[in-house]
Structure formats: C-alpha cells, structure tokens
A and B are shown apart, each in its own frame.
Chain A
Amino acid sequence: MIFPIQELSIDKINQIKTMTKLRLLEKATRGWQRPISNYVIREVVFGDSTVTDIYDIEPRTAVSAGIPQWAFDANDLTADDLSSVVKAGEDIDDDAYIGFYGFFDLGLEAGETTGAADTPPSNGAFVSAKFVRGSSDLDFWQLEHLYSYDYVMGITNRPVIYTSDEKIDIKVCCTEATTDKFAGFRAYICEPAGRNISPTLGPELRAIYGVDSLDQLPLEEQKKVAVRAGIDPLTEVTPAMVDDIYNRAVQTLYQMVVDAGLANSVIEAKENYIIREAVGGDKSDATDFVDFDQSATAQTTGQQNWAQDASAITAGDLSSVLASGTKVPDKKFIAVIGFADKTANPSLIGMSLNDGAGMKEFWQTEHCYVANAKGGGLSQRITYFKQNSPFDIKMNFKVARDNFVIPRILICEQYGDVISSA
C-alpha cells in the first residue's frame, strides 16, 4: 500500500525511512556480521551512462542525456499500459542495495524543476507503478489517490528492496504518453563507503561518543549513527530533529577546536569561540565580509549573499560553486547541515561536499522540491571540515543560469573575527 504523504505523521514517515535504511544495512552487512562502517547510505540517482558523476539506475531512454534526474521519456511509454522505464537488462551494482519507499511527481505546475518558465507538462497522467525483479513482480502501487492533494508524494509501508546484482525493471502506467513525465521514486542506496562518498563521521564520534571510529560503538548505537543519511525535505523534519542536528553540530565544532590544540577543554573553547551561519559571496569586493568566495565570476559584484553565477555551472554536472583552491580559514571550523534555495523556478538536482581527498557527501535533492517549489533540506549526517582543510561545494543544476542556493553552514571562529566578545 502507498499512502499520500499528507496522511502520515512525520514520525511515521521517518520510521519508514529509518527502517528502509536499516533493512539495506542488514542486507549489506549479511545480518550485521560485516562492519557497518564499511557501508554508507544516500539517495538513489536515476541517470544514463553519459552522466559525468554518480548514477545508479539507468533509464530506458534518458529525457536529457547526461542529466541525472528522475524523469521518464515519452518514447518509453504506451498510454494505459505498464511500460518499462529502466534500461533493458539493468542490474543493481555489485555490493549495492536499493530500497524504494515512495513516489513523487514534480510535473505539477510550479513543481517541475525545469529551471525555466516553460509550460508545465500535463499533470495527473501518472496512474501506477510496478517493481519487477527478473520474472517476479515484487510490488504494485496504484498512485491515482495521491493526486487528491496539492502536491504529489506517496510513502509505502512495504518498501521494495533490491540486492546486489539483481535484475531490476520498473514499469509505469500513464493515461497519456505524448509528454515526458517528471516523476520519480523515493529510494535509498547502501553501498561500500568510499565507492562514491566518504562521510566525515570522525569529529562527531569523538565529540558525542568519545570514540574514534564507528566500530568502537555498541551495535545498536552504530545503527543509529549509520541511518543518519540522505537529505530530508524540510517538511519531513520535526523541531526535535532540527534541535538534534544543531546540538550535535555545536558540540562537535567546539570539540574540533580542542582537537586542533586551540583550547584545552570544550569550556575554554566556548569562552573564546562563537558559532554563526557562514556567508558566501564576492570576497574581494565585499564591503563587509564573506567567508567563502563564490567562483571566479561573482553573480553580483560585491555580493554578500549565496548566489551561483551561470558561468560557473555546467548543466547536468556537479559544478564547483566556490573559488578554486578554497580552504577553511585558519582557526575556523565548519559544519554543513543542509541547503535552502531562493531561486525562482529552481533546477538543483544534486549537491556534493568535497575536501582535497574527494567527495564527503552527496545529496540528490529533487524530492526536496515537491512540497515547496523553493525547496530545501536538512541532513542528519553532518559534514565537518577543520581549519585549513580544502573545501568545495559542487552543485548540479539542470539549467546553466544564475541560481540562489544557500548551503546551510555553521562556522566556528574566535570572538573578535566577526562578533565581539562583549
């Protein structure tokens, strides 16, 4: 069964998401026999083989080649028939585990992330979906009842799980087949840590649990940490969850000050350091101050706000939106907890956080634009960067034009840098 998300409590939605993640971890670790720390969870990416960055499942026909997005090409659809939308013979990557737990439709007016003021595709045409594994029909969702509500998102209480190397097909039925459908599935993938991302769990493990690695925690605590993954739409986080994110970030940032040898204790760190939101912009021309310089060309000269100039963006690619060689300033520490988007008709589909060694975090963000066209999300898995660490944010937009995406970053710095001590 699949429920309109409006008919579920936030607790229930999070319970389903958490249990899906646990199921994937259980499969990956062979019933908790392998170390949980060997695996990470993130959102599934639907994209063809010409995608430059991450893609997990290939469409039969890509609506736009090279753009990793949830979309179904009209060429693959036959009206009133369940039609395969996944590449023939597609299988799950080796040692990867995928769980589908919901559906969303971005094709409604103001919802589709086209990045341009075009005519919305016909809406309400989506009827049903079927998950196929080889010759087995794993599940079937009739989706029409989701369209009673202002935005279309469904969550199932019977997630569909695919295991490493299994054959996968998804069939969808629509009442018409002349326009591409900008709809997709809520899904998580569990894969080996380091294959695509290497989250920065260390600082928080030291600050919150007093251990250096996940393996040192009791199994149940390991599970709690490991299921903090993905980017949650703002409509799916409770005030308690936000409080938990900020609390962990603050405790960890102060511990990082201590770990760097800049204070003898967290108490001393709190006496000398303060935390605020980080500012992006045109560092060389700003009247006041900017923490992180946004790419070679400023969207507006002297900007003291987060904005991505079109010249920095390659549509469909994770494009660096900070100036080349950006580092976290000396004696400063940052925690990245999510993003907001002020762009009119936005087109952000993916975002990554990187240091000198590679990708620490990746969020596929499409599902964060369903309930609210402006979009935004928070991640329970916080990404930390210490002083002098190389730091880059990459964003994947469907259209290379100016955007106004705000990474939600907390920066810990000494009193006197920006805010005086008294």
Chain B
Amino acid sequence: MLLKQKLARLKQGSNKRVVRSVQRVTPKPVVRREETKKERAVPSMYNLGTEITFRD
C-alpha cells in the first residue's frame, strides 16, 4: 500500500472513530440500567430475602 493511501485511510478512520465512539458509548449504559431494574422488579428464585450461602 502506498504511503499516501495509508495516510488517507488513517485520516478517514480517525474522523470516523470519533463519531463511532460517541454512537457506541451513549446507548449502552441505558440498556444496562433497564436490565438491572427488571431484575430487581422480579426477584428470581435465587434472590429471596435472607442470604443463602454454603459450607463446602
């Protein structure tokens, strides 16, 4: 690959990367927070009151 092309790609990529990183980072925490709320709203059979541990 020619050095010119490499430079051109790097330039394009670096611009895109900035945009992508904004797009990727923003929605993820929102999804995670929703899942956590759901888990708390419906206690599973593993999570009812007094903690259960094991001696093994």
* A244 interfacial contact with B, CB 8 Å: no
Please tell me the number of chain A residues within 8 Å of chain B, measured between CB atoms.
20
- Knowing that A138-B55, A161-B56 are A-B contacts, what are 14 other residue pairs whose CB atoms are under 8 Å apart, sorted by A's residue number? A15-B45, A15-B46, A18-B45, A19-B52, A139-B55, A157-B51, A157-B53, A158-B52, A159-B54, A159-B55, A160-B54, A161-B54, A161-B55, A163-B56
Inter-chain residue pair count (beta carbon < 8 A): 40
* A273 interfacial contact with B, CB 8 Å: no
Question: A161 to B55, alpha carbons, bound, how many Å?
Answer: 6
* A16 interfacial contact with B, CB 8 Å: yes
Give 25 CB contacts A-B under 8 Å: A12-B48, A12-B49, A12-B50, A15-B45, A15-B46, A15-B48, A15-B52, A18-B45, A19-B52, A23-B56, A27-B56, A99-B54, A131-B55, A138-B55, A138-B56, A157-B51, A157-B53, A158-B53, A158-B54, A158-B55, A159-B52, A159-B55, A161-B54, A161-B55, A163-B56
Question: A18 to B51, alpha carbons, bound, how many Å?
Answer: 14
Report the minimum CB–CB distance from A24 to chain B (whole Å): 10
Which A residues from 1 to 47 make CB contacts under 8 A with B?
11-12, 14-16, 18-19, 23, 27
Residues of A within 8 A of B45 (CB): 14-15, 18
Residues of A within 8 A of B49 (CB): 12
Q: Interface digits, B30-56 against A, CB 8 Å rule (1 contact, 0 not)? A: 000000000000000110111111111
Q: Pick the contact of A23 from B50, B51, B54 — CB < 8 Å?
A: B54
Residues on B lying within 8 angstroms of A by beta carbon are: 45-46, 48-56
Residues of B within 8 A of A14 (CB): 45
Question: A232 to B37, alpha carbons, bound, how many Å?
Answer: 34
Which A residues from 134 to 164 make CB contacts under 8 A with B?
138-139, 157-163
Name the 10 nearest CB pairs between A and B, nearest first: A161-B56, A160-B55, A138-B55, A139-B55, A157-B52, A15-B48, A157-B50, A158-B53, A161-B54, A19-B52
Question: A162 to B55, alpha carbons, bound, how many Å?
Answer: 9
Question: A161 to B49, alpha carbons, bound, how many Å?
Answer: 22
Report the minimum CB–CB distance from B47 to chain A (whole Å): 9
Report the minimum CB–CB distance from B55 to chain A (whole Å): 5
Residues on A lying within 8 angstroms of B by beta carbon are: 11-12, 14-16, 18-19, 23, 27, 99, 131, 138-139, 157-163
Question: B49's closest neighbor in chain A, by CB?
Answer: A12
Please determine whether B53 and A11 come into contact, CB atoms closer than 8 angstroms. Answer: no
Question: A160's closest neighbor in chain B, by CB?
Answer: B55
Question: A23 to B55, alpha carbons, bound, how many Å?
Answer: 11
Question: A18 to B50, alpha carbons, bound, how many Å?
Answer: 15
Interface centre among A15, A23, A131, A160 (most CB of B within 10 A): A15
Please determine whether B52 and A16 come into contact, CB atoms closer than 8 angstroms. Answer: yes
Residues of B within 8 A of A138 (CB): 55-56
Question: A131 to B54, alpha carbons, bound, how many Å?
Answer: 13
Question: A160 to B55, alpha carbons, bound, how many Å?
Answer: 5
Question: B56's closest neighbor in chain A, by CB?
Answer: A161
Report the minimum CB–CB distance from A30 to chain B (whole Å): 14
Question: A99 to B52, alpha carbons, bound, how many Å?
Answer: 13
Q: Pick the contact of A19 from B46, B55, B56 — CB < 8 Å?
A: B46
Question: A18 to B45, alpha carbons, bound, how many Å?
Answer: 8
Interface centre among B49, B51, B52 (most CB of A within 10 A): B52
Question: A11 to B45, alpha carbons, bound, how many Å?
Answer: 9
Question: A224's closest neighbor in chain B, by CB?
Answer: B45
Residues of A within 8 A of B55 (CB): 131, 138-139, 158-161
Question: A137's closest neighbor in chain B, by CB?
Answer: B55
Report the minimum CB–CB distance from A54 to chain B (whole Å): 23
Residues of B within 8 A of A159 (CB): 52, 54-55
Question: A263 to B52, alpha carbons, bound, how many Å?
Answer: 48
Question: A16 to B47, alpha carbons, bound, how many Å?
Answer: 10
Question: B51's closest neighbor in chain A, by CB?
Answer: A157
Question: B48's closest neighbor in chain A, by CB?
Answer: A15
